[in-house]
Amino acid sequence: MRELGVSEVAAKLVRDAINRGFDEAAARVVGLRAVMVKLANSEVSVVQRWNNLSASLYLAKGGRILTTTLSASSIDRIGELVERCLSAASQLKPSPLYAPLPEPAPVEPLSGLVDKAVIDGMADPAPLAEELIGEALDEGAEKVAGTLALSYYEKGLATSRGVELRESSTGVEGYLRAFVGESSGQWAVGSRRLERGALRLVARTAASLALKARGEPRDLKPGTYDLVLSPMVVGNLVDLVGMMSSALAVMMGFSIFARAKPGSKVASERFTLLDEPRNPELLGSTAFDDEGMPTRNKPIIEAGVLKTLLHNTKTAAKMGAASTGNAGWIRPHPWTLHIPAGDASLDEMISEVRRGLLVTNNWYTRLQNYVEGIFSTITRDAVIYIEDGELKHPVARVRIADRLPTLLSNIELVGKELHDISWWEVKPPVRAPYILVRSVHVSRPFD
């Protein structure tokens, strides 16, 4: 079926499913070509390349909900799968989550999602990888590790309500960890466009953070500190908030919003979090969701107030809301998150801290209780102690261990420079500033 376009394949799959007896069907067909250069010890550890065609189907019969995902090799044999799903549907009771697929709505395509330079760059990304390594070493790094990924993505969507849509996009993700002795710094960028300057900036920032954290790191006494969180850290933590804003996460017990209603105060008034799918600059942007609904930019949290959960038509019907254009057939999800800029510079934030830390990167965020938001996450790379408004000395790895609602409520300053972050620990991508949070619990391990 590779000779057909993605939306034609999707339409054919929908017709097949309906002809075989399903009440409703939707199909999303994705063609992906991508190349990724993985770097370690300032050389290439592996170059990976993909060329795949995959299809996902949503099927409904008598209120039962079924989904399937297929590889190219089996798309031609969709009939067998649909028959099996029909048999499965006959054995299950209707889903309380069921609601009909929506009627088609006008979708305004997004322009600027494809950058030809990305597609051209996929043929030979070696010069870009070389540039990333070289820039970091020139800046003073002793060695680097990281990833450069270029992709071209075609999405076709069809539904039995008559939706037939297609969208193409390119993507660039680059991140680098630079080492100077035992200290390290890491930075990342995600974009629809291949901008060499942005990649070079990633390399220089990673190296400069590693240089800034040079010296013997000191152990921090556990306690409460003010934290200046970099966009890397902010990205990781607001991804968690974004995930929790999915109405399904609320229904399934994976959200701090399980006991909050839109209109509730859930964060500091200085904090706004947007889902911004219609900004074509942002990796993750798209014009339509998996039900064919047009996406729209919207605040999830605005000036500290929860404005909306993210819905598909099913969760919306269940909760008496309207779709927000965030389907997922089962799970609504954010497309790409954006924290609007505040007015503080990084230096101003640091100057506001009497006793605290500049935290530049983190990973491994886990929760004891999603409803209460009890979590911890661990710093990695440069962490620098701040005393009386000045950066003092590097600090050994610590853990931010608090409650997410406390962290959101204690946000005091929001930075004026925004950074488009996408890497291993920040997906979906986030456009984020530095943020100053007051009085956060920090711990370290017992020897």
Partner 1 sequence: MIVHEDVLQRAVDLALELGASYAEARYHRLASSSITTRYGDVISYGERLSEGIGVRVLVDGALGFSATNSLDWEHAREAVEEAVKLARAHARLMKSRIEFAEARVGRAKYEAVSLKPFDSMSLEDKASLLIDVWKSVGEAVRECKVMTLMCSFNESVEEKTVINSDGAYVVSKVPRLSVSYNFVLLHPQRGTIQRRFSYGASGGLELLDEWRVAEEASEEAAKLERVLVEGVEPPREPVDVVVGSEVVGLIVHESCGHPSEADRILGREAAQAGMSFIKPGMLGARIGSEHATVIDDPTVPRSYGFYLYDDEGVPARPRYLYREGVINEHLHNRWTASVFKVESNAAARAMDYNSEPIIRMANTYLKPGDYSFEELIEDVELGVYIRSYMEWNIDDVRWGQRYVGLEAYMIEGGELGKPVRNPVLEITTKGFYSRIDAVGKELRFYPGTCGKGEPAQGVPVWFGGPDVRLRRVTLGVVAR
Q: Which of residues 359-388 bind partner 1 (CB under 8 A)?
A: 363-372, 374-378, 380
Exactly one of 9, 17, 66, 282 binds partner 1 (CB under 8 A); which one? 66
Cβ within 8 Å of residue 191, ≥6 positions away:
171, 172, 198, 281, 283, 420
Told to check if 258 binds partner 1 by CB under 8 A, we report: yes
CB of 198 to partner 1, least distance (A): 17
User: Which span (7-15, 67-75, 101-109, 429-437) binds partner 1, by CB under 8 A?
Assistant: 67-75
User: Which span (85-93, 196-204, 239-247, 345-353) binds partner 1, by CB under 8 A?
Assistant: 85-93
184 to 223, contacts with partner 1 by CB under 8 A? Answer: 186, 222
Rg over CA atoms, the chain: 23
Select 89 or 418, whichever has its Cβ closest to partner 1.
89
Select 265 or 363, whichever has its Cβ closest to partner 1.
363
116 to 155, contacts with partner 1 by CB under 8 A? Answer: 124, 126, 129-130, 133, 143, 145-147
Exactly one of 19, 47, 264, 417 binds partner 1 (CB under 8 A); which one? 47
- Report the relative pairing of strands 383-387 and 390-394 from DSSP bridges: antiparallel
Identify the CA nearest to 227 among candidates 43, 435, 48: 435
Q: 77-84: long-range contacts at Cβ-Cβ below 8 A with a sequence spacing of 24 or more?
A: 78/13, 78/16, 78/17, 79/16, 79/20, 82/16, 82/17, 82/20, 82/22, 82/57, 83/20
Select 91 or 111, whichever has its Cβ closest to partner 1.
91
Told to check if 43 binds partner 1 by CB under 8 A, we report: yes
Identify the CA nearest to 4 among candidates 69, 50, 72, 71: 72
Select 84 or 355, whichever has its Cβ closest to partner 1.
84
CB of 66 to partner 1, least distance (A): 5
Select 75 or 107, whichever has its Cβ closest to partner 1.
75
Phi-psi category of residue 357: left, alpha or beta, with phi > 0 → left and psi -120 to 50 → alpha: beta
Other CB atoms within a 10 A radius of the CB of residue 347 amount to 10
Exactly one of 16, 23, 86, 254 binds partner 1 (CB under 8 A); which one? 254
Select 105 or 258, whichever has its Cβ closest to partner 1.
258
User: Which span (59-67, 164-172, 210-218, 238-246) binds partner 1, by CB under 8 A?
Assistant: 59-67
For the chain, the first-to-last Cα distance in angstroms comes to 60
- Report the relative pairing of strands 223-229 and 183-191 from DSSP bridges: unpaired
Exactly one of 22, 152, 153, 175 binds partner 1 (CB under 8 A); which one? 175
Sequence length of the chain is 447
Diameter over CA atoms, the chain: 71
Is 232 within 8 Å of 359 (Cβ atoms)?
no
Told to check if 278 binds partner 1 by CB under 8 A, we report: no
Told to check if 65 binds partner 1 by CB under 8 A, we report: yes
What is the full DSSP assignment across 127-175?
A: HHHHHHHHHHHHHT-SEEEEEEEEEEEEEEEEETTS-EEEEEEEEEEEE
Quote the CA–CA distance of 444 and 430 in Å, as a whole number. Answer: 28
Exactly one of 15, 265, 397, 416 binds partner 1 (CB under 8 A); which one? 397
The token duo for 410 is: 């204690």
Other CB atoms within a 10 A radius of the CB of residue 88 amount to 14
Other CB atoms within a 10 A radius of the CB of residue 67 amount to 14
311 to 350, contacts with partner 1 by CB under 8 A? Answer: 330
Select 73 or 111, whichever has its Cβ closest to partner 1.
73
404 to 433, contacts with partner 1 by CB under 8 A? Answer: 406, 424
Told to check if 106 binds partner 1 by CB under 8 A, we report: no
Is 33 within 8 Å of 54 (Cβ atoms)?
no
Told to check if 19 binds partner 1 by CB under 8 A, we report: no
CB of 384 to partner 1, least distance (A): 17
Told to check if 181 binds partner 1 by CB under 8 A, we report: no
Select 112 or 223, whichever has its Cβ closest to partner 1.
223
Told to check if 20 binds partner 1 by CB under 8 A, we report: no
The rounded Cα 48 to chain-centroid distance in angstroms is: 22
CB of 331 to partner 1, least distance (A): 10
Select 77 or 108, whichever has its Cβ closest to partner 1.
77
The token duo for 324 is: 């927000």
User: Which span (191-199, 280-288, 292-300, 436-444) binds partner 1, by CB under 8 A?
Assistant: 436-444
CB of 390 to partner 1, least distance (A): 27
Exactly one of 38, 166, 270, 307 binds partner 1 (CB under 8 A); which one? 38
Question: Does residue 269 sit in helix, strand or coil?
Answer: coil
